[in-house]
Amino acid sequence: MLVALIFAAAVLGLVGAIWASASAVRGEYARVRAVTSGYYGGPLYRYDLAYLSGGPRRVVNTAIAVLSRVGAVRVSRGGRVSLVAGAAPSPVPMEQALMEALRVRGGSGDLGELRRAMAEGPAMRKLNDRMLKLGLIVPDGALDRLGKPLKRLHVVSILGLVAHVVGFIGAFVTHEPGSKGITASGIFITAAGVGLVSGTSGGIAHRDHRRALRDVLSRAGRDALDSARRTYRKGIRPVTPDLAFAVAVPIALYGLDELRDPILREELGRETARAEDGCATGFCGGGSPSSSTGESGSGCWGEGDGGCGGCGGGCGGCGG
């Protein structure tokens, strides 16, 4: 009986440790996400939204889709992107950067190489700085302090599951047929159940928090993105005379499924699924679920734009 009571006390201690570890992780996560924001509902432009939603890769995909739609670039089979002769320069910085990247490559380039160049280029860094300044993303390294409490949560959750197994063994060993009242076997069984519930709950919390580490949006960034998605619904193209805006915003917010050119969607989707490229420092996560075309909304992110056509609900206007 004494051994069973000691074991039950140890399991209760594990339950406390799991709860404390999960609380520490939640508190640290909330502290980081509540980073002081300089964003007070000002305009966010199409590449801002692409950056928040899917990172540098989403930004590049959006820019290529826009430039392809207005006839400035062409994407051929095999993922080759080429400038169209005589194409007018774009007034939007990110699109300018993409066209310039093609020019320095003689007018065409491989999509994967282009993504890498854009993700590491000054236009993308400028957008990253803008998002940081507005407090829409958290700084690099801000989530590092989550490592220790997450590891502790993982360890105590595993110990909870181990206690579950040990409790059943103890119940089997101490079982006395016909015994009544509180028995050692009953205490072991109860402790085993508590260990299973607490260990499983802790394991789920650990998994969910690890997944959340991919999302580098601050609370303000998440709110701004949610606001834009309430304004521009999936599958509904914005009604606007600005063709580039109408093409860009659905792709920026929801990914390649919103691209109406099936050939371009196939090429960008194939390259996106294949690529390991284009991950700006600190940026992995943000938005919509993975699309069937292979572009993940929780992939790596991107940059801010200019151009006319605001995104309502805290987004909007013309930008540079």
Query: In angstroms, rounded to a whole number, what is the distance separating the alpha carbons of residues 227 and 314?
Result: 7
Sheet holding 108-110, edge to edge: 73-76, 80-83, 108-110
Cα 17 to the chain's mean position, in Å? 29
The pairing of beta strand 73-76 with beta strand 80-83: antiparallel
pLDDT of residue 309: 34
pLDDT tens digit sequence for 184-219: 888 889 999 999 999 999 999 888 877 766 667 888
Query: In angstroms, rounded to a whole number, what is the distance separating the alpha carbons of residues 86 and 69?
Result: 15
Helix H or strand E segment including 110: strand 108-110
pLDDT of residue 35: 64
82 phi, psi to nearest 5 deg: -135, 145
Question: Are 67 and 253 spatial neighbours (Cβ–Cβ below 8 Å)?
Answer: no
CA dihedral (220, 243, 293, 276) in degrees, to 10, reads: -60
- CA contacts within 13 A on the Cβ side of 6: 4
Q: What does the domain layout of the chain look like in residue ranges?
A: 2-33+144-212, 46-140+231-274
Q: Flag whether the pTM goes above 0.75.
A: no
Q: What is the pLDDT along the chain (320 residues), one digit of tens a residue?
A: 888 899 899 999 999 999 999 898 888 777 766 666 666 677 889 999 999 999 999 999 999 999 998 899 998 888 889 999 888 888 899 999 999 999 999 998 888 889 999 999 999 999 999 998 888 888 766 667 777 888 899 999 999 999 999 998 988 888 777 676 688 888 889 999 999 999 999 999 888 877 766 667 888 888 899 999 999 899 888 877 788 888 899 999 999 889 888 878 888 887 544 444 333 333 433 333 333 344 443 333 333 333 333 333 333 333 33
Hey, which residues does 109 pair with through a beta bridge? 81
**Structure tokens belonging to residue 73:** 């670039």
